[in-house]
A = this chain, B = another copy of it.
Amino acid sequence: MGYELYYWPGIQGRGEIPRLILEDAGATYRDVAREPGGMKRMDRVLAGDEPALLPFAPPFLRAGRLWLAQSALIASYLGEQLDLAPRTEQARLAARTLMLTLADFIDEIHDTHHPVAVEKYYAEQKSAAAQRATSFREARMPKFLRYLERNIERAGHGVLVGRTVTYVDLAAFQIVAGLRYAFPRAFGRRAKQVKQLLALHDRVARRPALAAYLASDRREPFSEHDIWRRYPELDP
């Protein structure tokens, strides 16, 4: 089955975890908004043209006749469809739980530079951003990182859940890569406490299909228009 992923072109953003899953699985997919005329198509779906689903925002996915939105739901759906999920019902529920927790972590990363108004520029909220980033570096990031590290320890196979790499491990890879970009100092200071998470990042990055994707021009670079932004004043 061919998939259609819809997400803003030019950034990784919340489309990237679904994209990593599609690429790692070698799935056939179209990245619709990056194609000529694709932005108009995406806008029409956002305006309500698709009877099956009115998405609140990108990303959204067409999987054959089915439509769904919300990055964590898309990730769990694709992971389970593409054999990148654990097999037992309990482990699938644990993976879905982890994926939503990773999505929460990403929301908090985003809010470090947009704590008071998503519709305004970072420059208009720098004072609140400095406070939020302090809380993120000192309280929230360490709490989320400890949680991920503990899950890997508990699973006992170098992955977050089960025995083999699943979609939640691809999501964790993206978070580590993003934190290294956006908070190189604060994240670097925690490196010794998340050795298994860093090993998991490296293990995911070496997977042949994913390595090929990361080296391709389909992988957008990190930037200050994205979720993960390197503002040195937020990472002193």
Q: Are A56 and B111 in contact (CB under 8 A)?
A: no
In the bound complex, CA of A65 to CA of B68 (Å): 29
- B residues within 8 A CB of A119? 135, 139
CB contact under 8 A between A100 and B65, given known A48-B150, A128-B116, A135-B116? no
**Closest Cβ of chain B: how far from A91's Cβ, in Å?**
9
Closest B residue to A112 by CB, please name it.
B116
Whether A34 is near chain B, meaning CB under 8 Å from some CB there, is: no
Q: Are B115 and A93 in contact (CB under 8 A)?
A: no
Contact call A52/B120, Cβ cutoff below 8 A: no
- Report yes or no: A115 in contact with B118, Cβ–Cβ below 8 A: no
Q: Which label, helix, strand, loop or mixed, suits the secondary structure of the A interface?
A: helix
B128 and A131 contact, CB distance less than 8 A:
yes
Contact of A73 among B69, B96, B116, B147 (CB under 8 A): B96
Cα separation A197 to B96 with both chains bound (whole Å): 29
Interface residues on A, range: 35 or more
Which A87-115 residues have C-beta < 8 A from chain B? Answer: 89-90, 93-94, 96-97, 100-101, 104, 107, 111, 115
| Residue contact A65 to B90, C-beta cutoff 8 Å | yes
**Shortest distance in angstroms between A56's beta carbon and chain B's nearest beta carbon?**
5
Question: Do the beta carbons of B52 and A77 come within 8 Å of each other?
Answer: no
Whether A117 sits at the interface, judged by CB under 8 Å, is: yes
Residue among A97, A116, A128 with most chain B CB within 10 A: A116
Residues of A in contact with B (beta carbons under 8 Å apart): 48, 51-56, 65-70, 72-73, 77, 89-90, 93-94, 96-97, 100-101, 104, 107, 111, 115-120, 125, 127-128, 131-132, 134-135, 139-140, 144, 147, 150-151, 154
